[in-house]
Structure 1
Amino acid sequence: MENYNEPEMGHEEVDGPIRLVITEDIRSYIYQAAKWAKFLSIVGFIVTGLMVMIALSVQSVMQSLSEIPAYAGLVALGSGVIMFFYLLLALLYFYPSYLMYKFSSAAKLAVLYGNQESLSEAMVKMKSIFKFFGVVTVIIISMYVLMVVLFSIGAGIAAA
């Protein structure tokens, strides 16, 4: 493959700080992204609320299930563990929703009023959203790799 170097764009020699130009197209894209982020954050808040309500109603559901023999294993797990799991999921769902809401508010303010500080805040929130999802993705991939290794070891022990 050929050694291809991208042409350097926007790297003119300038005295002083480099300034970015935000065109009307870019402003439009930021505004549209802010609207979608606000929608997704509101849906996230609703889902978080539902998860909390489910977590708080686990106790009564578990009492009802204790009367059905097929669910004895689930009941043995205990309502406290399930409640903790749902509250943890709700917290993990709330945080990116909150960041998206803050991004949306700051981005709209930046676009509508040309506020540089709001644009900086919006970009910080967007960075935090991607960082959060990146860390969660690494954790999930690590858990999958660990499960494959443990299942392989278990299968090797069972075959011996």
Structure 2
Amino acid sequence: MIAEKSAFDTFELNLPPAIFGFLKETSSWTYFLSILGFIGIGLMLLFGIFFSVAMGLMPGGNPYESMGMTMNMSFVGIFYAVMAVCYFFPVLYLFNFSRKMKSALNAKNNDDLTAAFANLKSHYKFLGIFTIAIVGLYILLLIGAMVMGLA
């Protein structure tokens, strides 16, 4: 006995040619930007490691100590590494969006189209939350600077 397929089982991706073209071009640009993002992350990690090691090996320790900077300068290298890790996730979401979108358009697959847009949503959600956190940090730093200025 052969089961009949419903209309939903046989539904194919049906996009107007203009939208198909826009999505194809968008997936190409997001792929390019995500590759550049991965390269940037790699360079940030390398710079962070290099800076931490170079400052640790520098004779006399901190070259900026005479200007009042008493913190360990390897902190700057660690900061770059942390920023690279934070930057990794939106770039990964963008990369996954471009891969899934290309796959959806080539195979006319709704599951890949859904996964592509889920990754795009995650990309923008991450950037939105990250932006809110950074703006909040700036506000706290501004308030802290004003309080320290009054003291």
Aligned to 2:110: 116
The TM-score normalised by the length of structure 2 is 0.79
2:90 match: 96
Q: Which amino acid aligns with 1:30?
A: L
* Equivalence for 2:71: 77
| Contact 1:66–1:75, Cα closer than 8 Å, also in 2 | no
Q: Does 1:34 align with 2:27?
A: yes
Where do 1:7-156 residues align within 5 Å? 22-63=15-56, 65-67=58-60, 70-72=63-65, 76-156=70-150
CA offsets 1:54-97 (integer angstroms, 9 cap, x no match): 12212442146445875336985325423321111111121111
Contact 2:62 2:70 in 1 (8 A): no
Question: Where in structure 2 are there 5+ consecutive unaligned residues?
Answer: 1-12
SS at match of 1:77: coil
CA distance in 1, matches of 2:29, 2:63: 43
State the secondary structure of the residue aligned to 1:57: helix
Number of residues of Structure 1 aligned to a counterpart in Structure 2: 138
Return 5+ residue gaps in structure 1 as ranges: 1-19
Aligned 8 A contact 1:62 1:75 in 2: no
Q: 1:65 touches 1:75 (CA, 8 Å); kept in 2?
A: no
CA RMSD of aligned residues (A): 2.5
TM-score (norm 1): 0.75
Q: Deviations over 1:82-139 (max 9, x none)?
A: 3321111111121111111110000011112211000000000000000001001101
